[in-house]
Amino acid sequence: MSDQLKHKSDPIALHQHAEDNLRYIRATMESATSFTGVSGLGYVMAGLSALPAAWLAARQPDAAGWLVIWMLELVLASGVALALTACKAVKQGGSLASPSGRKLLLAFLPAMAAGGLVTLSFFLSGHVALLPGIWLSLYGAAVMTAGAWSVRIIPVMGGMFMVFGAVTLLGPVSGDFMLALGMGGLHIIFGILIWRHHGG
């Protein structure tokens, strides 16, 4: 009798074991894949919003007004890009909370946090003229690092931002003009490429 019960329970145990294996394989594959939900449209919208921000910032009479314009632009552009990326990820059957999405965000945040600290320090010490080049460089570093978990074109965009940052820091160019070219132009160009070749 006990042998019969054992044989009857074997298929159940085998079925449970197979399900556990499938869950493990699925989780492993998901954690190894790139996050392809980055929104090209989000980058385009962020780039478009940077153009009037650069124009307004260049016309501010003091450093505080200038910084307020760019911080508002940061909030607006980040919010739009993040929302559209989240929507694209959901349409693809994933989410920002997926293992690859979390890795991308965690890789992106340290350089951005450093940028926030440097911005506060430089503003308090009256060296805001250096901030555009620093922003472009640190943003480029953040994008390059996060791009390791995304589509191949993302690190290329990050590298271009770093080049723009170097030109801004070392050359006799307007910081607001370079921010318009970088945060505006590069986002629009690469956003269109991602939009066309990576599903939106």
Could you read off the pLDDT tens digit of each residue along the chain, which spans 200 residues?
A: 545 544 444 555 666 665 666 565 554 444 445 676 788 999 999 999 999 999 999 999 999 999 999 999 999 999 999 999 888 888 887 777 788 778 888 888 999 999 999 999 999 998 899 999 999 999 999 999 988 887 789 999 999 999 999 999 999 999 999 999 999 999 999 999 998 887 77
Which residue type occupies 174? Answer: S
What are residue 150's phi and psi, to 5 degrees? -135, -165
What are residue 62's phi and psi, to 5 degrees? -145, 170
Query: What CA–CA distance (Å, rounded) separates 138 from 24?
Result: 37
User: Are the beta carbons of 139 and 112 closer than 8 angstroms?
Assistant: yes
Cα 83 off chain centre by? 12
What pTM does this model have? 0.81
Which residue type occupies 105? Answer: L
The three-class DSSP label of residue 179 is helix
E strands, the chain, in order? none
Interacting residues of 192 by C-beta distance below 8 A, sequence separation 6+: 40, 44
Q: Looking at residue 97, what is its pLDDT? A: 76
Both tokens of 199, joined, read: 């599903």
